[in-house]
Structure 1
Amino acid sequence: MATQAAVAAPTLPVSIDDVRVAHDRIRDSIVRTPTLISKTLSKMTGATVYLKFENLQFTAAYKERGALNTLLQLSAEARAKGVIAASAGNHAQGLAYHANRLGIPTTIVMPTNTPTVKVMQTEGHGANVVLHGETFDAAYAHARILEGECGFTFVHPFDDPRVIAGQGTVAIEMLEDVPQLDTLVIPIGGGGLISGMSTVARALSEAPGGHPIEVVGVQAELFPSMYNRINGTDMACAGDTLAEGIAVKEPGAITAKIVAELVDDIVLVSERSLEESVSLLLQIEKTVVEGAGAAGLAALLSHPERFAGKTVGIVLCGGNIDTRLLANVLLRDLARSGRLARLRIRLQDKPGALFHVARIFDQERVNIIEIYHQRVFTTLPAKGLITDIECELRDRAHLDRLVGALRAGGYETSTVELA
């Protein structure tokens, strides 16, 4: 892993000058998203926390930057033939949007199991969507075949110096707006964003009058691909992660080289911390982020001692999350905090049994949402009854008081816990 003293920038394929030129090239066609302090998150984490709201880009993700920087460097001939990419996520939409705006034909290859809403959103930006294969690897291989057959220009989602330079413009803006940042916490999938941003951070750190800027990458525990590459480990990269935007099994060759030279550390975060972070950002900052967009905050919550006392910049890199999934994340967070609960209560199957239990809920000022009776599929005797009651409370202490009151009333009571 890199140290501030290690200087290898001349050997790397992207320089801060490349990023500055990219910013001049794209700045009039993207949103200069705000970098704002979060007093509440700062208090929670012990760091001074600034948030870069890249979820406010038109396609709700930073990916537009690298895609546009690449498109604007194509020759007239390449523009006329068109571009192609393999993506089911933010890269597809960012590339399609700006290519359509520039009049460049675009083909996006997606796996056949891509959700219909993502296909429709990409087509809505004017792209021709080709569904092929059941995995990203199959879609990627087909895109490279079409590239050769049709003369398209392939635009890689991360492993391209033009894309990396475009993504690095995020750091240019953050450090112009908040020069006192001493730590950048950046999600890593393929590594394009952190490669570009660490290029800027290292150059500014070493400039006259500059100060050290530490760069820390974040990956989901289920997909530690760059962590493995840099640290020589062999942890599995698989699973159903909330941070699908950074669920990359193989990092790029170019990006891995830059990360090895310029990034100070990589930390891993759990699914639970990602869920908590998505929920906190909505409740505290009133902003919607996808799982990958919440990874930076998840790092601060999971490793508070690592960032205590530092002035930290976090990139909310994307906001494209399915609304049903978001609702599920929010409800699960309510359950973990004790504000939503399901209690399993053993009753006798006789008139008035539920009435007497409900009186205790009323006495404790607890709102009942749903009631489920189970008479047949239970190990209780024939006259026994299991009742699950979903309820809404103020906090964990309120839940504890309710459970205590039910048990004091003679009812066998347990809480149904989340994983």
Structure 2
Amino acid sequence: MHLNEIKRTRENIKDIINKTPILHSPIFSKMNNCSVYMKCENLQITGAYKIRGALNKIRTLTDEEKLKGVVCSSAGNHAQGVAYAATLFGVNSTIVMPKNTPYLKIQSTKEFGGSVVLHGTCYDDAFLKAKSIESEYNSVFIHPFNDINVIYGQGTIALEILEEITDVDVIICPIGGGGLISGISLAAKELNPNIKIIGVQAEGANAMEKSFKNKKLISLNSVNTIADGIAVKCPGELTYNIIREYVDDIVTVSDKEIAEAFLILCEKHKLLAEASGAASLAALKKLNLYGKKVVSIISGGNIDMLTISSLISDGLVERGRLFCFSVELPDTPGQLQEISKILSEVNANVVQLEHNQFKAANRLKNVLLEVTVETNGTEHIDLIKSTFNKKGFKIIQMY
């Protein structure tokens, strides 16, 4: 039943959306002992898969509903999808976004024709504001995940995957409210009941994971993750019921693990994803998928430059590519030169150095040196530590 609706939905939206590429990843395959493919929805119109559901929903509205205008709440990608689709059909759209939404997503939503209202600090705060606007102005509320027409739109991704990779064993999806994985699981399980559907959430925003494992809908008091696109406190009842029936498992990943996956994706594939988009790649390490054919959904690529910088730094640290340490030195000439000599011997490239007398435990006699160096991995860091130790210097690793 659902599969036929999702197929009809694809016909409904195929003139607008991109059929995004599926790319094989040699690096993630090697790291995880399986064949990893990436469904690149970061290359979708508006930069994320959300346009699929938003477009389908708006196309199902009556002429009377379209005249009322639409309103939605979103951390960014649903916002852009609704704004783009609404403008395409001459429908006024009001988009409520959390105040901490990255500037790029706010600006892009405005450029797509949406009227943006900033409210609260997470999706759920924005949701309450959007519902009040719906009530006040009699607008049509377009839910980002708890709507079957939106879910069917996201499910079209599964059709594209299974047409291209007919023997896929596992599909991994990021989960915020659950719309993406709901749509994909409805289509994939009907096409092939043996496919495993695995969800992934950030450790600091794992409401659906808790709900799934406790077999009841659970909301969080707060969320805390770099993956703003999946930072949802209250998952949907509709999506929860679908996930409970069709999804095989849900795992969580840390922000550090997301940053590491982001860095590898950038370096090895020259692709940009937002933190939530890279979560499905971060999840690979948590799963025993030896010999399996796996598709990870790269759900979006709407990321601002400051966040890119932060994620790269975190990823470099997680991969052992940046090493920061402190060492207390006698306040006498030649000490800094000795440190530089040791770093040169072990081929550590200095990125940053701070020489501060006031941070030393013994400020009358010593100075504290804080050094950040570029390294080649954890073995290189171990070499640096052991070399300093042999030379009589006690260093303290900061990160």
Q: TM-score scaled by structure 1?
A: 0.89
Q: Which amino acid aligns with 2:268?
A: I
2:264 equivalent to 1:280 = yes
For residue 368 of structure 1, the aligned residue among 339, 350, 360 is 350
* 3-state SS of 2:15 partner: helix
Partner of 2:329, secondary structure, is strand
Answer yes or no: is the 8 Å Cα contact 1:96–1:122 preserved in 2.
yes
Q: What residue in structure 2 maps to residue 231 of structure 1?
A: 213
Aligned match of 2:69 in 68, 76, 82? 82
Whether contact under 8 Å (2:208, 2:240) holds in the other structure is: yes
Kindly state the Cα deviation for residue 63 of structure 1 after the two structures are TM-superposed: 0.2
Equivalent pairs counted in the alignment come to 397
Task: Determine which of 73, 83, 89 is the counterpart of 1:96.
Answer: 83
After the TM superposition, which of the residue ranges 171-180 and 251-260 deviates more from structure 2? 251-260
Q: CA separation in 2, counterparts of 1:321 and 1:133?
A: 20
Contact kept, 8 Å, 1:223 with 1:237, in 2: the verdict is no
Matching of residue 316 in structure 1 with residue 293 in structure 2: no
What is the match of residue 56 of structure 2? 69
Q: Secondary structure at the match of 1:371?
A: strand
Q: In the alignment, is residue 183 of structure 1 matched against residue 170 of structure 2?
A: yes
Residue in 2 that maps onto 1:150: 137
Which residue number in structure 2 is paired with residue 3 of structure 1? Answer: none
Deviation of residue 115 (structure 1)? 4.5
Q: 2:373 aligns with which of 378, 388, 391?
A: 391
Q: Report the Cα distance in structure 1 between the residues aligned to 2:25 and 2:231, rounded to whole angstroms.
A: 27
SS of match in other structure, 1:222: helix
Kindly state the Cα deviation for residue 343 of structure 1 after the two structures are TM-superposed: 2.4
Deviates more, 1:15-24 or 1:348-357: 348-357
Equivalence for 2:94: 107
Map residues 235-274 of structure 1 onto 2, 5 A cutoff.
238-274=222-258
Is the contact made by 2:256 and 2:314 (CA closer than 8 Å) also made in structure 1?
no
Q: Does 1:352 align with 2:317?
A: no
Correspondence 1:17 to 2:1: no
Give, in whole Å, the separation in 2 of the partners of 1:272 and 1:56.
Answer: 24
Structure 1's 347 and 219: CA in aligned 2 closer, same or farther, altered over 3 A?
same
- In 2: Cα distance, 1:133 partner to 1:332 partner: 27
Shift of 1:178: 0.7
Query: Structure 1 regions of 5+ residues with no counterpart?
Result: 1-9, 207-211
SS at match of 1:59: helix
Q: Equivalents in 2 of 1:217, 1:341: separation in Å? A: 33
Is 1:137 the counterpart of 2:137? The answer is: no
Q: Does residue 324 of structure 2 align to residue 342 of structure 1?
A: yes
Q: How many angstroms apart in 2 are the aligned matches of 1:283 and 1:72?
A: 39
Aligned residue for 1:250, secondary structure, equals: coil
Which among 165, 188, 191 is matched to residue 204 of structure 1?
191
Query: Identity rate of aligned residues, in percent?
Result: 39
Amino acid at match of 1:174: I
Return the alpha-carbon distance in structure 2 between the equivalents of residues 407 and 235 of structure 1: 49
Quick one: distance in 2 between partners of 1:416 and 1:148? 52
**Comparing 98-107 with 173-182, which one deviates more in the overlay?**
98-107
Q: Give a deviation string over 1:110-144, Cα, whole Å, max 9, x none.
A: 24454444332211111111234555434322322
Kindly indicate whether residue 390 of structure 2 is the aligned counterpart of residue 404 of structure 1: no
For residue 376 of structure 1, give the secondary structure of its aligned residue in structure 2: helix
Within 2, Cα distance between the matches of 1:168 and 1:308? 27
Could you tell me which of 377, 382, 385 is aligned with 2:359? 377
Letter in 1 for 2:141: F
Structure 1's 223 and 113: CA in aligned 2 closer, same or farther, altered over 3 A?
A: closer
Cα distance change of structure 1 residues 201 and 131 upon mapping to structure 2, 3 Å threshold: same
Which AA in structure 1 matches 2:347? Answer: R
Structure 1, residues 252-292: CA drift from partner, whole Å, max 9, x if none? 11111111111111122222221211111112221111121
Q: What CA distance in whole angstroms lies between the structure 1 residues aligned with 2:377 and 2:253?
A: 26
Residue 151 of structure 2: aligned partner:
164
From 13, 23, 44, the equivalent of 1:57 is: 44
Matches within 5 A, 1:300-311: 300-303=284-287, 305=288, 307-311=289-293
Residue 370 of structure 1 deviates from its aligned partner by: 2.0
The residue number in structure 1 matching 2:107 is 120
For the 8 Å contact 1:224–1:237, the answer to whether it is kept is no
- Of 50-59 and 403-412, deviating more is 403-412
| Distance (Å, rounded) in 1 between the aligned partners of 2:311 and 2:73 | 28
8 Å CA contact 1:345–1:412 kept in 2: the answer is yes
Give the Å deviation of 1:414.
2.6
- Structure 1 35/252 Cα, relative in aligned 2: closer, same or farther at 3 Å? same
Tell me: CA distance 1:261–1:337, structure 2 relative to 1, closer, same or farther (3 Å). closer
**Cα contact 2:357–2:368 (8 A) shared by 1:** yes
Q: Distance in 2 between matches of 1:22 and 1:292?
A: 25
Distance change in 2, residues 1:237/1:228 (3 Å): farther
- SS of alignment partner, residue 252 of structure 2: strand
Bigger mean CA deviation after superposition, 314-323 or 147-156: 147-156
Residue 36 of structure 1, aligned match among 12, 20, 23: 23
> Pairwise CA RMSD of aligned residues?
2.0
Partner SS for 1:216:
strand
Shift of 1:70: 0.6
Secondary structure of the 1:79 match is helix
Report the Cα distance in structure 2 between the residues aligned to 1:378 and 1:47, rounded to whole angstroms: 50
Q: CA distance change for structure 1 residues 336 and 149 in 2, over 3 Å: closer, same or farther?
A: closer
Give the C-alpha shift of residue 185 in structure 1: 1.0
The unaligned stretches of length 5 or more in structure 2 are: none
What is the CA distance between 1:320 and its match in structure 2?
1.6
Cα distance, 1:197 vs. partner?
A: 0.6
Separation in 1, partners of 2:125, 2:175 = 22
2: distance between equivalents of 1:343 and 1:118?
36
Tell me the distance in 1 between the aligned counterparts of 2:383 and 2:345.
11
